[in-house]
Amino acid sequence: MLFNSYEFILLFLPLVLGGYLVVRRFGGSTRALQALLTLGSLVFFWSAGTTSILLLAGSSTVNYLLGRWLARATPSAPARRVAVALGIVLNVGTLAVAKYWMLLVPFVARMTQLDAPRLQGGLPLAISFYTFLQIAYLVDCYRVRPTKAYTPLEYLLFVVFFPHLIAGPLVHHRQLIPQLQSLAAPAGNVARDIGSGMSLFVLGLSKKVLIADTLAPPASAVFEASAAGHVGQMQAMVALVGYTLQIYFDFSGYSDMAIGLARMFSIDLPENFRSPYQATSIVDFWRRWHITLSRFLLEYVYIPLGGNRYGTPRRYLNLMLTMLLGGAWHGAGWTFVIWGGLHGAFLCANQAYRTVVPESPRWTAPVYRALTIAAVMMAWIFFRAPDLGAAMHFVDSLFTVGGTPAPIAPPSWRWYSTVVVGTMIALWQPNTGVLFGVAPAPDNAQAPTQRRFQCPPWTPTAGWVAVTVLCGLASLAFIDGETATFIYYKF
């Protein structure tokens, strides 16, 4: 079940939200509301397959019990270090097997002369996201023991809460669980929460259905053709521009939908997307793109490796290791490792340049933006290509004048008009938080979870309602029978 499917929009969401509002209206306790949301989230996850939900249940149980032990027991420091290390190894090991086993099957078969077992159903849904959530929980229980232990129901809902479960944001337990513990508390303006949440959801749905899904077919056709050989230079340019905008609106749309869904239940999720193509450097890009993943890598990988505390060479090494891990987290294959390595190299170059030129005149900002976009686009080639050979063919075609085009139908006028509109939005329009006059919950896990209204706060004017209804109806009309999945669902 996908956020952009008829069964979710017209059946699942009305039932869960309606049930939640009824229970709350008639004085339901926090525990009852938690149980309702947990049940709904498990049904949502169960629709992906039995294997996925069994793995999720086992992972949540083991991590919760280990976290409770780390938080409550008073053993020697070595024992606690062993326990948290064991938890991290179990989580990372499970994730590695799930992601990389299919790549290892041929190698195992050759080495053992036996048929290695294959994972049924592909990659377990959301395993990358809930694994990182639970690693952060274990590490925090080891570093700072919580003053109050979470109940099993609170922890399970934190992990499976359906708006963030599949593809983020990577919400921190200190951000979400306090909100789950006060579901029955007197609310501020429930109608405003539902209205702004629905508007955010429809905005994200429009980005996905009307823009991202329109841009996808020509780009996919060229990238797939590159696996069989070279494509024309113009075809490569068209595909690269199309995919650059496709992944932007696909992920931005998903993030808006996730935050909007949570807000319908008066829950704030952290901001995860902040106009990244308006960045003036690669460092700035990673402050805007997948913000919660960037913060996780910073707090739980880069800083524990030593950060910038041991000199410049060690700092660059830590940056490279962190981004290589980020690439491997996204998927199995050398293409993702190279994508992460490229961003690591870009970050190192960016930091080195800053030491030489600490401040730049304002007129250089457009130049820096263009260089940043160019670097990001080159890295997207490896992120999107089906394999390393296809990526190299694509790069070669991109820089070869007069290459033989692949037998692919040219994009339609609708595709080109969508590129123009998408480019204007990505490069010059304000991000969702500014558009709504409200910034989502702080992305810093140390900050108290609170809604921070900017001036003016979002208000449901007649014009806004009309635009929202129009975008919603248009999006529903363009949803195909086979709903297009979100790019980050496969991670």
Spell out the residues 6+ positions from residue 33 whose beta carbon is closer than 8 angstroms to its own: 20, 23, 24, 183, 184
- Closest alpha carbon to 458 in 186, 169, 171, 198: 198
Strand, helix or coil at 236?
helix
Spell out the residues 6+ positions from residue 273 whose beta carbon is closer than 8 angstroms to its own: 251, 252, 255, 256, 288, 289, 290, 291, 431, 432
Q: How far apart are CA 465 and CA 462, in angstroms?
A: 5
- Closest alpha carbon to 330 in 208, 449, 247, 226: 247
Chain-centroid distance of CA 113 in Å reads 39
Query: 3-state secondary structure string, 13-42?
Result: HHHHHHHHHHHHHCCCCHHHHHHHHHHHHH
- As annotated, the active-site residues are 330
DSSP bridge pairs for 380: none
